Amino acid sequence: MIEHYRNHFNSNFTSKKYDTLLENLTSGYPPISFRVAETPLFIPQDLKMQLIAAGEDIIRLIKQPDFKTITQKAIPPEWEVPNENDQPHFLTFDFGICKNEEGRLVPKLIEMQGFPSLYGFQSHLAEHYRKAYELDNLAQWSPYFNGLDKETYIQLLKKVIVGRHQPHEVALMDIDAPQQKTAIDFFITAGLLGIKILSLTDIFKEGTQLFYIENGEKIRLKRIYNRLIFDEVTSREDIFKLGFDPREQTDIEWITHPNWFYRISKYTMPFLKSEFVPQTRFLNEIKVIPDDLENYVLKPLFSFAGLGVVIDVSPDDIRQITDPEHWVLQRKVQYEPVVKALDGNVKAEIRLMYVWPDGEEPQLCINLARLSRGKMIGVRYNKDFDWVGGTVGLMET
């Protein structure tokens, strides 16, 4: 998006450099099961400042004293976990990159979560983009915000995820962690912080305490860096019998507590009033269906990775919904194809990634970006395309 850097990158791009990038990314790690884009984004200063302002608008709502009250209905009763803390430790906000009437690039909020993202992998990815394409010969580039560099960023992650505990007392947990699509992020994070990677079934409960076995020794678990999304186990609740049930009373510290995944989500968007947030309303609160439904998208509250989203909405789509309180109608965001590929332009989305240490303020620290040629950003909508997939935004330092 910074034209002279984009032109230089494209004119010097080769498939060999891209293949080298992919090879080096996975050296010593599991294969990457999602597509990595051929290019990073070059984020201009004006867009960077707007992204920061957009994130601050959202955080003001989250910090309101009544935020827990207005989002209590966001948590499905069957998935509520006890001992919720006062704040999420991670925030991620996804913005589509658009153009306004004056031709200025502007971010528009698409999705938000009080849940971790690829905090380890994005740092790793930025480093390898810079090396594979020799980008630091052009300028000094960084994926970090707020003056962070790799060292201080890792220190911040360790402060939040490990805290006062020993690394072996902390585990990154998912339903079947080594087999997840984001497993490379798990292994990078574990390598940086020294923590364990455990599947749900590796953990067992005695009284209210949690343990795992390593080399025949029972080790008490004191903190879980949670990567388990309950939506993924809705039809597999029997798995809790093989491990432990997070909904039971346990003496464990959650980083971040599972309830925040629901509180900070599509459910939150109708409460946001910002130039960076498209109009979003709970479906059950809409008395008259808009005449211009082609300008709206219909989204289920409890889904992830774009599942269930209706892009081309019809009145019948709305009438057939039996639980309108679990849906939102959102004004469409018109992505602008702002990234020049070798054969045309592609759309971009940027995820701002925050870390929120206990007793401190949320800190914007790194970003994730995705490129798309399809109707939506996700992998399933971009099969068989190139110059699409996961990437990172780089900013001049």
What is the DSSP track for 52-81?
Answer: HHHHHHHHHHHTSTTHHHHTGGGS-GGG--
CB atoms within 10 A of CB 15: 9
Distance (Å, whole) CA 115 – CA 210: 22
CA distances to 2, 205, 225, 239 from 199, in Å: 42, 14, 12, 11
Q: What is the pLDDT of residue 234?
A: 76
pLDDT > 70? residue 98: yes
Q: Is cis: bond before 256, omega within 30 of 0?
A: yes
Q: Using the predicted structure, report yes or no on whether residue 125 has a pLDDT greater than 70.
A: yes
Burial of 4 per CB tally in 10 Å (0-12, 13-18, 19+): exposed
Q: What is the pTM of this model?
A: 0.94
Q: Percent of the chain, pLDDT > 90?
A: 86
Q: In this model, does residue 231 exceed pLDDT 80?
A: no
Identify the pLDDT of residue 383.
66
Residue-level pLDDT at 376: 63
Contacts of 2 (CB under 8 A, 6+ apart): 42, 43, 44, 396
| Residue-range domain boundaries for the chain | 3-145+261-278+333-396
Average predicted confidence (pLDDT) for the chain: 93
In 3D space, the residue among 124, 97, 128, 138 whose CA is nearest the CA of residue 11 turns out to be 138
Torsion angle, CA of 232/90/143/96, rounded to 10 degrees? Answer: 60
Per residue, the 3-state secondary structure of 103-134, as one string, reads: CCEEEEEEEEECCCCCHHHHHHHHHHHHHHCC
pLDDT tens digits, 319-328: 999 999 999 9
Tell me what pLDDT residue 327 has: 95
Statement: residue 304 has pLDDT above 70: no
The predicted structure's pLDDT at residue 240? 85
| 3-state SS assignment for residue 366 | strand
- Which has the higher per-residue pLDDT, 231 or 271? 271
What's the pLDDT at 57?
A: 97
Cβ 268 vs Cβ 112: under 8 Å: yes
Given a cut of 80, whether residue 379 has pLDDT beyond it is no
**Do residues 293 and 314 make contact, with C-beta atoms less than 8 angstroms apart?**
yes
Answer whether residue 261 shows pLDDT above 90: yes
Q: Is the model's pLDDT at 236 over the cut of 90? A: no
Residue-wise pLDDT tens digits, 22-64: 999 999 999 999 999 999 999 999 999 999 999 999 999 999 9
pLDDT for 350: 98
